[in-house]
Structure 1
Amino acid sequence: MGMAAGKGTPERPASPSADRVLTVLETLVAAEGGLTLTALAKATDISLATCASVVYTLEQRGYAARRVVGRSHFWRPTMRLYDLGASLVRQGDLAGIAGPHLRVLADELKMPAHAGVLDGASVVYVAKAATSGFIQFDTYPGKVSPFNLTALGRAIAAHLPEADLEPLLSRLTPGTGPKAKRPTPRAFRAQLAKVRQAGYAVEDEEEEAGIACVAAPVFNAEGRVVGSIGVTGFSRELVKRRLATAAGLVVGQAGEISAGLGF
């Protein structure tokens, strides 16, 4: 909910009914399991009757489903939401154009490669080229991570217009990895300056112990950053042994994708 200019109270939504529908839907998505109408009404602070009306409509449209256990009905969102998001991603062209280039990176480096876009203060993984082998990394299309803790997010943030970057600086997320430091706007700006100078971003054991990522930005025909691509691997291999090689390949493939987008 946004804040009204010069006031301390939230802005009144232009459409209260639409606001309630989105609140119900977001609450269902955030819940790990299904919710009863009573639990949903309590979580959203919306009346039971209104919650019932909303979820019945979502069910009719295919965005919600219910599971009956005894006398209780548990509501959950459906994968139709994913279909909407996937269609939006395809419209942006990045996932489709990046696919073959991610495959090149994965095959050359023997590491999973990803494409990501910025969504608010998060990076959403929109495509992945996996590698064979027993060890697999917990990355997948649809994964969401704090933008400042990933090389993908840093590669994008380094090239954002100031008007887009400034609001994000108040939403920096602390990392939990062994090399994580307390994030501050000043330190993060300095980090982004190094990204612009190098042409690529690195994240090394800040989000997760033993894991590192290298990423480079992707630009569209107007010269605006629209996403990034990168690889994920073990820190001891990616950063300590193969950083120059990996960075060169990632930057090169990012450049080819940008060219495919008209840059």
Structure 2
Amino acid sequence: MRQKRSGLRKDKRQRLQTIDRALGLLELICQAEDGSSITELSRQTGLPKSTVHRLLATLSAHRLVVQDPQTSRYLPGIKLFELAQAVLQRLELRKQALPELRDLCQRTNETVHLAILDDGDVIYIDKQESQQTIRMFSAIGKRGPAHCTGVGKVLLAALPEHELDELIRRKGLPRFTEKTIVDPETLKAHLAQVRQQGYAIDDTEHEPEIRCVACPIRDHTGRVIAAVSLTIPAFRATRAQIEALAPLVREYADRISRKMGWTGESL
């Protein structure tokens, strides 16, 4: 058993070393004005040419680098541009959303969240905290389940069916409260309703003391890129009361969407 653990630790160290080396090569390639050759990268890193070649093959397979067919030099790949665009969009989203999140929070004196979907989980990328004595404790950067949160259901409802099926298969539908939807077909029917009405309700499905209403945020193409939610302790709002706030949340979500280029015509 001790020998097996030692082997696992060694394998983990080797994987981390490989990742570290590959990222080092990628950084050098990005810094070079006219790309890098295998010989140059080997000299700069102290790695054998065979190791550099193997790492570059992996980076190429993921489109992180590309080899110029004429010079054989390696250049940054288009995948880096795609990743950078995703980061910039998130930064721009937060910038454009902030005034609206603050206004909605001040108008209702309840907590407001901005969230995106990442690998099947919800990530809260911004938050405006209620000044109420009793409020929800959450954190920017925190991950949460998608199938039982308001923002998560809004984001799942926008996915193509095959992507939704894959997420359900991979992540499962764990139960958090007695109201959590744990049956795939029931969830799909529920998400169809979310798409039709344009908002989602979390009726104590993730936390027994929390209710929230969430609406989608769209980009210039009409694609759902994020969700905004209003979160209220269950003792302060019934389901009917939280549902009555949906038009208000939608108003602010649409404001943010328009700032992101959505015109309403691309739906």
TM-score by length of 2: 0.65
Q: Which amino acid aligns with 1:154?
A: K
For the Cα contact (< 8 Å) 2:101–2:112, is it kept in 1?
A: yes
Gaps of at least 5 residues in structure 2 are 28-82, 263-267
For the Cα contact (< 8 Å) 1:149–1:203, is it kept in 2?
A: yes
How has the CA–CA distance of structure 1 residues 42 and 112 changed in structure 2, closer, same or farther, with 3 Å as cutoff?
farther
Q: Which amino acid aligns with 1:178?
A: E
Aligned to 1:172: 172
Question: May I ask how many residue pairs the two structures share in their alignment?
Answer: 199
Give the 5 Å matches for 1:92-171. 92=90, 93-170=92-169, 171=171
Q: Where does structure 1 differ by over 3 angstroms across 4 or more consecutive aligned residues?
A: 40-45, 47-58, 87-91, 238-241
Partner deviation per Cα, 1:64-106 (whole Å, 9 max, x = no partner) = xxxxxxxxxxxxxxxxxxxxx9x96554222111111111221
For the Cα contact (< 8 Å) 1:202–1:215, is it kept in 2?
A: yes
Q: Which amino acid aligns with 2:163?
A: D
Identity of aligned residues (%): 29
Aligned to 1:191: 190
Aligned to 2:213: 214
Higher-helix-fraction structure: 2
For 1:144 and 1:169, locate their aligned partners in 2 and report how far apart those are by CA, in whole Å: 17
Aligned-residue RMSD, C-alpha: 3.1
For the Cα contact (< 8 Å) 1:213–1:230, is it kept in 2?
A: yes
Partner deviation per Cα, 1:11-48 (whole Å, 9 max, x = no partner) = xxxxxxxxxxxxxxxxxxxxxxxxxxxxx977756266
Aligned to 1:82: none
Greater mean deviation of Cα atoms: 157-166 or 43-52: 43-52
Matched, 1:251 2:254: no
Partner deviation per Cα, 1:199-225 (whole Å, 9 max, x = no partner) = 100011111111111100111111111
Secondary structure of 2:96's aligned partner: helix
Gaps of at least 5 residues in structure 1 are 1-39, 62-84
How has the CA–CA distance of structure 1 residues 54 and 223 changed in structure 2, closer, same or farther, with 3 Å as cutoff?
closer
For 1:41 and 1:54, locate their aligned partners in 2 and report how far apart those are by CA, in whole Å: 20
Compare CA radii of gyration and give the structure with the larger one: 2
Q: Which amino acid aligns with 1:220?
A: D
